[in-house]
Amino acid sequence: MGAVAEALEALGHPVGALPEPRLLADLFVRFQAQVPLRATGDATPEAHLETWLSDGAGLRGAARLEAFAALAAAAGFAADRAIARHPDGTARPVLLAERGSLLLDVSFPLPAPLPLAQEAASEATGYGTISVRHEDGRPALVLEARGDERRLYGLEPAGDVEPRADDGPDLFRLLDDRLLRWSAGVLEISDAWSRLRVPLPAADADGLEAFFGPPIPEGLPAAAPIDEATLAVYHASAEAPARLQALLSDPATQAALLPEGWTVAGLVRRDDGFDQELVEGARLLRRERVTLLPDGLAVEAEGPLALFRARTWRLEPRPSGTRLRLLAALRDPVPPRGLPEANRRRLVFELASELLALDRLASAG
Protein backbone atom coordinates (compact mmCIF):
# COMPACT_ATOMS: atom_id res chain seq x y z
CA MET A 1 0.00 0.00 0.00
CA GLY A 2 1.39 3.40 -0.98
CA ALA A 3 1.62 6.48 1.23
CA VAL A 4 -1.47 8.10 -0.33
CA ALA A 5 -3.64 5.03 0.28
CA GLU A 6 -2.27 4.68 3.82
CA ALA A 7 -2.99 8.34 4.50
CA LEU A 8 -6.57 7.95 3.26
CA GLU A 9 -7.02 5.01 5.60
CA ALA A 10 -5.47 6.93 8.51
CA LEU A 11 -7.89 9.80 7.85
CA GLY A 12 -10.83 7.42 8.03
CA HIS A 13 -11.81 7.46 4.37
CA PRO A 14 -13.72 4.26 3.53
CA VAL A 15 -11.82 2.01 1.14
CA GLY A 16 -13.53 1.65 -2.23
CA ALA A 17 -16.28 4.15 -1.42
CA LEU A 18 -17.95 6.07 -4.23
CA PRO A 19 -16.95 9.76 -4.36
CA GLU A 20 -19.93 11.24 -2.53
CA PRO A 21 -19.84 14.96 -1.56
CA ARG A 22 -20.19 14.23 2.15
CA LEU A 23 -17.10 11.99 2.04
CA LEU A 24 -15.06 14.78 0.44
CA ALA A 25 -16.19 17.12 3.22
CA ASP A 26 -15.25 14.51 5.84
CA LEU A 27 -11.83 14.04 4.25
CA PHE A 28 -11.19 17.80 4.25
CA VAL A 29 -12.27 18.20 7.89
CA ARG A 30 -10.07 15.35 9.08
CA PHE A 31 -7.10 16.49 7.02
CA GLN A 32 -7.34 19.99 8.48
CA ALA A 33 -7.72 18.65 12.02
CA GLN A 34 -5.06 15.94 11.93
CA VAL A 35 -2.29 17.21 9.66
CA PRO A 36 -0.40 20.04 11.41
CA LEU A 37 -0.20 23.34 9.56
CA ARG A 38 3.53 24.06 9.70
CA ALA A 39 6.53 24.57 7.45
CA THR A 40 8.13 21.69 5.60
CA GLY A 41 10.84 21.07 3.04
CA ASP A 42 10.56 20.24 -0.64
CA ALA A 43 9.35 16.73 -1.51
CA THR A 44 6.67 14.89 -3.46
CA PRO A 45 3.15 14.65 -2.03
CA GLU A 46 3.73 10.95 -1.40
CA ALA A 47 6.92 11.67 0.56
CA HIS A 48 5.22 14.37 2.61
CA LEU A 49 2.32 12.08 3.48
CA GLU A 50 4.73 9.29 4.40
CA THR A 51 6.52 11.65 6.80
CA TRP A 52 3.20 12.65 8.33
CA LEU A 53 2.24 9.01 8.78
CA SER A 54 5.55 8.06 10.39
CA ASP A 55 6.44 11.19 12.39
CA GLY A 56 3.33 13.35 12.53
CA ALA A 57 5.12 16.06 10.54
CA GLY A 58 3.06 18.93 9.19
CA LEU A 59 2.60 20.67 5.86
CA ARG A 60 2.08 24.25 4.74
CA GLY A 61 1.60 26.25 1.56
CA ALA A 62 1.84 24.57 -1.84
CA ALA A 63 3.11 21.30 -0.35
CA ARG A 64 -0.06 21.04 1.74
CA LEU A 65 -2.29 21.74 -1.25
CA GLU A 66 -0.54 19.14 -3.40
CA ALA A 67 -0.79 16.50 -0.67
CA PHE A 68 -4.53 17.02 -0.27
CA ALA A 69 -5.01 17.10 -4.05
CA ALA A 70 -3.31 13.70 -4.25
CA LEU A 71 -5.61 12.34 -1.54
CA ALA A 72 -8.74 13.71 -3.22
CA ALA A 73 -7.73 12.33 -6.62
CA ALA A 74 -6.98 8.89 -5.18
CA ALA A 75 -10.42 8.87 -3.55
CA GLY A 76 -12.05 9.68 -6.89
CA PHE A 77 -12.90 13.33 -6.32
CA ALA A 78 -12.45 15.98 -9.01
CA ALA A 79 -10.83 19.19 -7.75
CA ASP A 80 -9.92 22.14 -9.92
CA ARG A 81 -7.32 24.85 -9.27
CA ALA A 82 -8.15 28.51 -8.68
CA ILE A 83 -6.25 31.55 -7.46
CA ALA A 84 -6.72 33.26 -4.10
CA ARG A 85 -5.76 36.94 -4.54
CA HIS A 86 -4.95 38.72 -1.27
CA PRO A 87 -5.48 42.45 -0.66
CA ASP A 88 -1.72 43.07 -0.93
CA GLY A 89 -1.76 41.66 -4.49
CA THR A 90 -0.02 38.38 -3.68
CA ALA A 91 -1.67 35.16 -4.76
CA ARG A 92 -1.62 31.42 -4.12
CA PRO A 93 -3.42 28.38 -5.50
CA VAL A 94 -6.50 26.83 -3.87
CA LEU A 95 -8.75 23.91 -4.76
CA LEU A 96 -12.40 24.03 -5.83
CA ALA A 97 -14.80 21.09 -6.02
CA GLU A 98 -18.40 20.56 -7.12
CA ARG A 99 -17.84 22.45 -10.39
CA GLY A 100 -16.31 25.41 -8.65
CA SER A 101 -19.01 25.83 -6.02
CA LEU A 102 -17.07 24.45 -3.02
CA LEU A 103 -13.85 25.95 -1.65
CA LEU A 104 -11.19 23.56 -0.31
CA ASP A 105 -8.48 25.88 1.04
CA VAL A 106 -6.22 23.56 3.00
CA SER A 107 -3.43 26.16 3.26
CA PHE A 108 -5.66 28.42 5.37
CA PRO A 109 -7.09 27.49 8.80
CA LEU A 110 -10.50 26.71 7.33
CA PRO A 111 -12.08 23.92 9.40
CA ALA A 112 -14.59 22.77 6.77
CA PRO A 113 -15.29 23.22 3.04
CA LEU A 114 -17.00 26.52 2.28
CA PRO A 115 -19.89 26.71 -0.25
CA LEU A 116 -19.41 29.58 -2.67
CA ALA A 117 -22.73 29.62 -4.49
CA GLN A 118 -24.78 31.23 -1.71
CA GLU A 119 -24.14 34.86 -0.80
CA ALA A 120 -24.93 34.10 2.84
CA ALA A 121 -22.59 31.15 3.17
CA SER A 122 -20.45 31.38 6.30
CA GLU A 123 -18.29 29.23 8.54
CA ALA A 124 -17.85 29.85 12.26
CA THR A 125 -14.28 29.17 13.37
CA GLY A 126 -12.32 29.41 16.59
CA TYR A 127 -11.01 32.83 15.53
CA GLY A 128 -14.12 34.45 13.94
CA THR A 129 -16.70 33.97 11.21
CA ILE A 130 -15.71 33.60 7.56
CA SER A 131 -18.38 34.60 5.07
CA VAL A 132 -18.65 34.75 1.28
CA ARG A 133 -19.31 37.97 -0.61
CA HIS A 134 -19.65 38.27 -4.40
CA GLU A 135 -17.69 41.05 -6.07
CA ASP A 136 -18.11 41.56 -9.84
CA GLY A 137 -19.49 38.06 -10.10
CA ARG A 138 -16.57 36.45 -8.23
CA PRO A 139 -16.60 35.18 -4.66
CA ALA A 140 -14.45 36.77 -1.95
CA LEU A 141 -13.89 35.73 1.66
CA VAL A 142 -14.43 38.13 4.56
CA LEU A 143 -13.45 37.54 8.20
CA GLU A 144 -15.44 39.05 11.06
CA ALA A 145 -13.48 38.85 14.31
CA ARG A 146 -12.47 40.96 17.31
CA GLY A 147 -14.78 43.83 16.48
CA ASP A 148 -13.55 44.20 12.92
CA GLU A 149 -14.25 42.97 9.41
CA ARG A 150 -11.56 42.44 6.82
CA ARG A 151 -11.32 40.96 3.35
CA LEU A 152 -9.16 37.83 3.27
CA TYR A 153 -8.95 37.22 -0.46
CA GLY A 154 -10.88 37.04 -3.70
CA LEU A 155 -11.05 34.02 -5.98
CA GLU A 156 -9.92 34.15 -9.61
CA PRO A 157 -9.65 31.56 -12.40
CA ALA A 158 -6.55 29.40 -12.36
CA GLY A 159 -3.39 30.82 -13.83
CA ASP A 160 0.32 31.18 -13.29
CA VAL A 161 1.23 33.04 -10.09
CA GLU A 162 4.44 33.89 -8.32
CA PRO A 163 4.75 31.77 -5.16
CA ARG A 164 3.54 33.75 -2.14
CA ALA A 165 6.19 34.23 0.54
CA ASP A 166 5.77 31.67 3.30
CA ASP A 167 5.84 34.21 6.13
CA GLY A 168 3.32 32.62 8.48
CA PRO A 169 3.93 31.53 12.06
CA ASP A 170 6.44 28.77 12.72
CA LEU A 171 3.84 26.69 14.61
CA PHE A 172 0.10 26.76 14.14
CA ARG A 173 -2.88 24.87 15.58
CA LEU A 174 -6.59 25.39 15.05
CA LEU A 175 -8.95 24.25 17.82
CA ASP A 176 -12.73 24.41 17.90
CA ASP A 177 -12.83 27.62 19.95
CA ARG A 178 -9.40 29.24 19.51
CA LEU A 179 -6.34 29.53 17.32
CA LEU A 180 -2.77 28.92 18.56
CA ARG A 181 0.27 30.41 16.85
CA TRP A 182 3.92 30.57 17.82
CA SER A 183 6.63 32.64 16.19
CA ALA A 184 9.95 34.13 17.36
CA GLY A 185 9.49 33.32 21.04
CA VAL A 186 5.85 34.45 21.33
CA LEU A 187 2.81 32.22 21.85
CA GLU A 188 -0.41 33.83 20.60
CA ILE A 189 -3.84 32.48 21.51
CA SER A 190 -6.72 34.10 19.62
CA ASP A 191 -10.46 33.65 19.53
CA ALA A 192 -13.28 35.68 18.02
CA TRP A 193 -13.05 38.32 20.78
CA SER A 194 -9.52 38.35 22.17
CA ARG A 195 -5.81 37.83 21.64
CA LEU A 196 -3.35 36.69 24.34
CA ARG A 197 0.40 37.03 23.73
CA VAL A 198 2.75 35.17 26.08
CA PRO A 199 6.54 34.73 26.09
CA LEU A 200 7.49 31.13 25.24
CA PRO A 201 11.12 30.59 24.22
CA ALA A 202 12.09 28.22 21.43
CA ALA A 203 14.29 26.33 23.89
CA ASP A 204 11.19 25.07 25.73
CA ALA A 205 10.50 22.21 23.33
CA ASP A 206 8.30 20.40 25.86
CA GLY A 207 6.16 23.51 26.28
CA LEU A 208 5.79 23.94 22.53
CA GLU A 209 4.89 20.28 22.17
CA ALA A 210 2.22 20.63 24.86
CA PHE A 211 0.52 23.35 22.81
CA PHE A 212 1.15 22.16 19.26
CA GLY A 213 1.79 18.43 19.52
CA PRO A 214 4.80 16.47 18.31
CA PRO A 215 7.06 16.68 16.52
CA ILE A 216 8.42 20.19 17.08
CA PRO A 217 10.70 21.10 14.14
CA GLU A 218 14.35 21.65 14.89
CA GLY A 219 16.05 24.98 14.32
CA LEU A 220 13.16 27.25 15.32
CA PRO A 221 14.22 30.91 15.53
CA ALA A 222 15.51 31.76 19.00
CA ALA A 223 14.59 35.46 18.94
CA ALA A 224 14.23 37.25 22.26
CA PRO A 225 10.61 36.89 23.42
CA ILE A 226 8.42 39.77 24.55
CA ASP A 227 8.96 41.01 28.10
CA GLU A 228 5.45 40.47 29.46
CA ALA A 229 2.15 38.82 28.67
CA THR A 230 -0.63 41.00 27.25
CA LEU A 231 -4.31 40.33 26.65
CA ALA A 232 -6.40 42.36 24.20
CA VAL A 233 -10.19 42.13 24.02
CA TYR A 234 -12.25 43.72 21.24
CA HIS A 235 -15.85 44.81 20.67
CA ALA A 236 -17.75 46.51 17.85
CA SER A 237 -20.07 49.29 19.02
CA ALA A 238 -22.68 51.17 17.00
CA GLU A 239 -21.88 54.33 18.99
CA ALA A 240 -19.62 57.08 17.64
CA PRO A 241 -16.06 57.38 19.00
CA ALA A 242 -16.69 60.91 20.32
CA ARG A 243 -19.56 59.73 22.54
CA LEU A 244 -17.58 56.80 23.91
CA GLN A 245 -14.56 59.03 24.52
CA ALA A 246 -16.69 61.53 26.46
CA LEU A 247 -18.07 58.77 28.64
CA LEU A 248 -14.66 57.22 29.32
CA SER A 249 -13.25 60.61 30.33
CA ASP A 250 -15.95 61.10 32.97
CA PRO A 251 -15.19 59.67 36.45
CA ALA A 252 -18.91 59.13 36.95
CA THR A 253 -18.90 56.76 33.96
CA GLN A 254 -15.94 54.89 35.38
CA ALA A 255 -17.87 54.46 38.61
CA ALA A 256 -20.87 53.14 36.69
CA LEU A 257 -18.69 50.49 35.05
CA LEU A 258 -17.57 49.01 38.38
CA PRO A 259 -18.75 45.57 39.53
CA GLU A 260 -21.73 45.45 41.87
CA GLY A 261 -20.77 46.45 45.41
CA TRP A 262 -17.68 48.44 44.39
CA THR A 263 -17.61 52.19 45.07
CA VAL A 264 -15.18 55.08 44.64
CA ALA A 265 -13.82 56.16 48.05
CA GLY A 266 -11.41 58.83 46.89
CA LEU A 267 -11.23 60.83 43.67
CA VAL A 268 -8.48 63.29 42.78
CA ARG A 269 -8.74 65.08 39.46
CA ARG A 270 -5.67 66.00 37.40
CA ASP A 271 -5.28 68.03 34.23
CA ASP A 272 -4.67 64.86 32.23
CA GLY A 273 -7.02 62.52 34.10
CA PHE A 274 -7.81 61.46 37.65
CA ASP A 275 -6.79 59.10 40.46
CA GLN A 276 -9.28 56.98 42.36
CA GLU A 277 -9.49 54.37 45.11
CA LEU A 278 -11.99 51.56 44.70
CA VAL A 279 -13.43 49.92 47.79
CA GLU A 280 -16.08 47.49 48.94
CA GLY A 281 -17.27 48.70 52.30
CA ALA A 282 -14.12 49.56 54.24
CA ARG A 283 -11.91 47.22 52.23
CA LEU A 284 -9.52 48.69 49.64
CA LEU A 285 -9.77 46.75 46.39
CA ARG A 286 -7.77 48.74 43.86
CA ARG A 287 -6.03 52.04 43.27
CA GLU A 288 -6.15 53.45 39.75
CA ARG A 289 -4.38 56.25 37.93
CA VAL A 290 -6.39 57.19 34.85
CA THR A 291 -4.72 59.17 32.03
CA LEU A 292 -6.75 60.57 29.15
CA LEU A 293 -5.54 59.86 25.61
CA PRO A 294 -6.67 61.38 22.30
CA ASP A 295 -8.36 58.12 21.30
CA GLY A 296 -9.04 56.44 24.63
CA LEU A 297 -7.44 56.31 28.05
CA ALA A 298 -4.77 54.46 30.04
CA VAL A 299 -5.29 52.99 33.50
CA GLU A 300 -2.49 51.95 35.88
CA ALA A 301 -3.66 49.85 38.80
CA GLU A 302 -2.42 48.27 42.02
CA GLY A 303 -4.05 46.51 44.92
CA PRO A 304 -5.35 43.07 45.89
CA LEU A 305 -8.00 42.97 43.13
CA ALA A 306 -5.93 44.55 40.38
CA LEU A 307 -5.75 41.60 37.99
CA PHE A 308 -4.05 43.83 35.41
CA ARG A 309 -1.12 46.14 36.03
CA ALA A 310 -2.22 48.39 33.18
CA ARG A 311 -5.22 48.67 30.84
CA THR A 312 -5.34 50.82 27.72
CA TRP A 313 -8.60 51.68 25.96
CA ARG A 314 -8.47 52.52 22.24
CA LEU A 315 -11.38 53.77 20.14
CA GLU A 316 -11.07 53.19 16.40
CA PRO A 317 -13.67 54.71 14.03
CA ARG A 318 -15.61 52.26 11.85
CA PRO A 319 -18.11 52.97 9.05
CA SER A 320 -20.94 51.95 11.37
CA GLY A 321 -19.59 52.99 14.77
CA THR A 322 -16.48 52.20 16.78
CA ARG A 323 -14.12 49.33 17.29
CA LEU A 324 -13.13 49.20 20.97
CA ARG A 325 -9.90 47.57 22.08
CA LEU A 326 -8.93 47.03 25.71
CA LEU A 327 -5.28 46.00 25.97
CA ALA A 328 -4.13 44.78 29.39
CA ALA A 329 -0.76 43.89 30.90
CA LEU A 330 -1.15 41.12 33.45
CA ARG A 331 -0.13 41.93 37.01
CA ASP A 332 1.31 38.54 37.92
CA PRO A 333 4.01 36.68 36.00
CA VAL A 334 2.61 34.11 33.60
CA PRO A 335 3.69 30.48 34.20
CA PRO A 336 6.53 29.43 31.87
CA ARG A 337 4.12 27.50 29.65
CA GLY A 338 1.28 29.98 29.52
CA LEU A 339 -2.02 30.35 31.34
CA PRO A 340 -4.40 27.46 31.99
CA GLU A 341 -7.32 27.81 29.61
CA ALA A 342 -9.78 28.42 32.46
CA ASN A 343 -7.67 31.35 33.67
CA ARG A 344 -7.44 32.81 30.16
CA ARG A 345 -11.21 32.65 29.79
CA ARG A 346 -11.70 34.34 33.14
CA LEU A 347 -9.42 37.23 32.20
CA VAL A 348 -11.12 37.61 28.82
CA PHE A 349 -14.46 37.75 30.64
CA GLU A 350 -13.20 40.47 33.00
CA LEU A 351 -12.11 42.74 30.15
CA ALA A 352 -15.07 41.95 27.89
CA SER A 353 -17.43 42.87 30.73
CA GLU A 354 -15.92 46.37 30.83
CA LEU A 355 -16.33 46.84 27.08
CA LEU A 356 -19.92 45.61 27.08
CA ALA A 357 -20.82 47.74 30.11
CA LEU A 358 -19.53 50.87 28.39
CA ASP A 359 -21.44 50.04 25.19
CA ARG A 360 -24.66 49.45 27.15
CA LEU A 361 -24.21 52.72 28.99
CA ALA A 362 -23.61 54.62 25.73
CA SER A 363 -26.64 53.11 23.97
CA ALA A 364 -28.89 53.74 26.96
CA GLY A 365 -28.14 57.48 27.00
Q: Categorize the per-residue pLDDT at 154 as very low, low, confident or very high, splitting at 50, 70 and 90.
A: very high
Cα-only R_g, the chain: 24
Work out the average pLDDT over 306-321.
Answer: 93
Q: How many CB atoms lie within 10 A of CB 224?
A: 9
The whole-angstrom separation of Cα 247 and Cα 151 is: 32
For 185-210, what is the mean pLDDT? 89
pLDDT tens, position by position, 91-131: 999 999 999 999 999 998 889 999 998 665 778 888 888 99
Is the CATH number 3.40.30.10 carried by domain 228-364?
no
DSSP helix/strand/coil, 50: helix
Quote the pLDDT of residue 146. Answer: 85
Q: What is the pLDDT of residue 364?
A: 85
pLDDT for the residue 283:
93
Judge whether 19 and 61 are in contact, CB under 8 Å: no
Instruction: Kindly list the domain boundaries of the chain, sorted by start residue.
Output: 3-115+150-157, 228-364
Q: Which helix (H) or strand (E) holds 149?
A: strand 148-157
Confidence category of residue 204, pLDDT binned at 50, 70, 90: confident
Model confidence band, residue 342 (pLDDT cutoffs 50, 70, 90): very high
CA distance 213 to 110: 19
